[in-house]
Structure 1
């Protein structure tokens, strides 16, 4: 809208809408983006995510708005009473006719140069890839030694040492003392990180200090510290400031911890959790051993049932021989009876045909004699066979072998010794005789 057209007719009556629109255009077209300094008051965080506030000094105030698409990039939360510097555009909210500033950027007052340096270095290192997640390394699960780069007088050191002692007191800690603020602090921090890598005595390195203002934490925003952390071969944790504080070292380190205490927690496993895991593993091991023992006992019982003692086996053989003798005796008796039946049959046939009685009687007597002789001979043979088997059985009796002068030699594990080449001087042997046993030592072992 051209403002000159409005003023050509001095008698023209403006509508409020036209007037406010004209004023807004004049403000936005006549004033560029500018930095304005003041104190925040009446701060409101609307449900839409937009921020509404007033910016004031000792003599004036102005309404301000910072829309969500702008305030979401701030890593800190404004509060009433905070002194800030805002990059804003002067405008007019036509619905209420209120003059206001539309804020594009906001920073704490007096720290503009530091924030600009912070953002500039952040963009530079990010472009070089120092913030990439792909280059960050995983921390060791069970570090053997932990290094601390901090000030010996810092409260953060006590917090870290206390946390490490509670979580895992057995892990040794190496302190690399450095100043954490002031002139030259950044260079000394970088030198300490480089020294820790040269000495290679730690598995993880914690770079930490407690909270403070941006000036106090500025050593950890220096490029020399960022590059020392990036070049570190030891995985590094950055625990600088409080939870809301962010430094360049946080972005470069392998892990950013919100506080020094959180850094100590991230560097060490929890002893209580490890003890619980060990207890669970021990319980599983005990259950496994018990199960294996029970299976072995069952297998042993099965093998014991299958194993027959030599005496029991000899008893079985004797029972078998007795059974054979009984069968032999029965067979002999049956043979005699059968011959007797045949004799009776023949006698009846002889009587029936009335042969020569004297001749037949003589022949019958001869046959009876032959039968008795044959029966006695057969019985004698079977008896001799039985005696031979009994004698062979006696030969198998270990006690008979020992009675003939032999002995049973066993080593300390109960194994039978049959080869002298396996013996050496000093071995102890157990010798079993027919009567009793003796325990002897080997003085000299001969070749087999």
Structure 2
């Protein structure tokens, strides 16, 4: 809008306030690229929009700062008055008031620059040694029933883990190994707690957890000694430190990095509701397979039974023959009675003294009647014995009776009966059917008997 001559000859141009503010802002952007500034926080406020506004000061000066919500959501802590911070951003002019300020895009606690440099150096060193390689990490099971939690007893992370495990995996036994998770003594205490958990026979997996915090708060989890101690453990280790945005050296060394302590507890267990659902599904599958097997077996038995004469039908036929014999016997008796009656009549007519002849004939009739009754009874008993014998014979010849005597029969993998040694091949899988079950066998050799012998 303005040329260079106008800028060096301000007497030729009358500037508006907004134009001057724009020119100063443009100059600041040109001559002051984004940079880091350190100072103490004063008058920190958080607007309803989520933006942060505060003043950064030192012994002799102050700098107004604004950090918009899109950037401050990435900060893992909430600054407060008195904090010493290092802020990164662009120096500019707030056009509406003409005030000088810095638009901040990143914040860290003072002194973290050196710590972060140490963090990067250690990360590069351990990565070069292969401690981060996935090939050295131990595989994790889906379900653990013996879980160690290494953390502080006062940590909110412990409550989160215990609550999650109680709700999700009431079947799991949990042991807590106390340690400091912050401060100079924390690394040594963490190592001792890890070694105790490693040596316990009641531990299958180790959860190393703590809540979120600044880089300084989490520094114990960036300690090289702790990282090497985690790598040396034989039991799998799940680390859940801070929030999802918090990353430590131990996260990369562990067998699994969880976003939060709660997520670490979830990775170590399976929900009891899911397990219950899977058990019910497995029961349904077993029931379905059993019913199908039972149906197939019943069909095979029916087919087998159709090939064997039904004993009931044989008994029925014997009974029918017995009835026919009874009818024939009754007809024979009736015929014999008629013939004897006729003879008696003829004899009576030939008698000189009918009373005496009648008496003799009556005696003869009684005797013949007794003989006939005896003969009939004998014949009837013989028929009954024959019927009983036939019934017992049919029962003895039934397949189940044969099996109860110690015999068995053999079928191939398709359920077909094996009736000859020649129908069997070496290596073939067969099923031997006994009275009380089946045996599955494999033919390793066979010998044919000499027909001549």
TM-score, normalization by structure 1? 0.55
Contact 1:211 1:241 in 2 (8 A): yes
Contact 2:72 2:106 in 1 (8 A): no
1:58-137 alignment, distance < 5 Å: 62-64=64-66, 71=71, 74-76=74-76, 83=83, 84-92=85-93, 98-103=99-104, 105-107=106-108, 111-114=109-112, 116-118=114-116, 120-122=118-120, 124-125=122-123, 128-129=126-127, 130=131, 137=138
Indicate yes or no: 2:418 matched with 1:416: no
Equivalent residue pairs, number: 329
Match of 2:23 in 1: 21
Contact 2:221 2:227 in 1 (8 A): yes
Give unpaired runs (5+ residues) of structure 2.
Answer: 321-386, 408-453
Q: 2:37 aligns with which of 27, 35, 38?
A: 35
In structure 2, distance between residues paired with 1:210 and 1:260: 7
Q: CA deviation at 1:155?
A: 5.3
Larger displacement relative to structure 2 (159-168 or 18-27):
18-27
Match of 2:205 in 1: 204
Contact 1:28 1:91 in 2 (8 A): no
In structure 1, distance between residues paired with 2:290 and 2:29: 86
Greater CA radius of gyration, 1 or 2? 1
Contact 2:182 2:217 in 1 (8 A): yes
SS across alignment from 1:308: coil
In structure 1, distance between residues paired with 2:126 and 2:279: 44
1:38-437 alignment, distance < 5 Å: 38-39=41-42, 40-41=44-45, 53=53, 55=55, 62-64=64-66, 71=71, 74-76=74-76, 83=83, 84-92=85-93, 98-103=99-104, 105-107=106-108, 111-114=109-112, 116-118=114-116, 120-122=118-120, 124-125=122-123, 128-129=126-127, 130=131, 137-152=138-153, 154=155, 156-197=157-198, 202-210=203-211, 216-241=217-242, 245-309=246-310, 399=389, 414-416=403-405
Q: CA deviation at 1:225?
A: 1.8
In structure 1, distance between residues paired with 2:284 and 2:303: 29
In structure 2, distance between residues paired with 1:159 and 1:45: 30
Identify if the C-alpha distance between structure 1 residues 74 and 118 changes in structure 2 by more than 3 Å, giving closer, same or farther: farther
Match of 1:380 in 2: none
Identify if the C-alpha distance between structure 1 residues 54 and 149 changes in structure 2 by more than 3 Å, giving closer, same or farther: closer
Q: CA deviation at 1:278?
A: 0.4
In structure 2, distance between residues paired with 1:44 and 1:133: 45
TM-score, normalization by structure 2? 0.55
SS across alignment from 1:233: coil
In structure 2, distance between residues paired with 1:32 and 1:283: 66
Identify if the C-alpha distance between structure 1 residues 10 and 163 changes in structure 2 by more than 3 Å, giving closer, same or farther: closer
SS across alignment from 1:99: strand
Contact 2:38 2:110 in 1 (8 A): no
In structure 2, distance between residues paired with 1:94 and 1:216: 39
In structure 1, distance between residues paired with 2:256 and 2:279: 28
Q: CA deviation at 1:197?
A: 4.1
Identify if the C-alpha distance between structure 1 residues 166 and 95 changes in structure 2 by more than 3 Å, giving closer, same or farther: closer
Q: CA deviation at 1:196?
A: 4.0
Residue deviations 1:218-275, cap 9 Å, x none?
3223232233223433322122345665544334433333443332222111122111
In structure 2, distance between residues paired with 1:170 and 1:65: 48
Q: CA deviation at 1:304?
A: 2.2
Q: CA deviation at 1:202?
A: 3.4
Identify if the C-alpha distance between structure 1 residues 44 and 247 changes in structure 2 by more than 3 Å, giving closer, same or farther: farther
SS across alignment from 1:278: helix
Give unpaired runs (5+ residues) of structure 1.
Answer: 320-396, 419-448
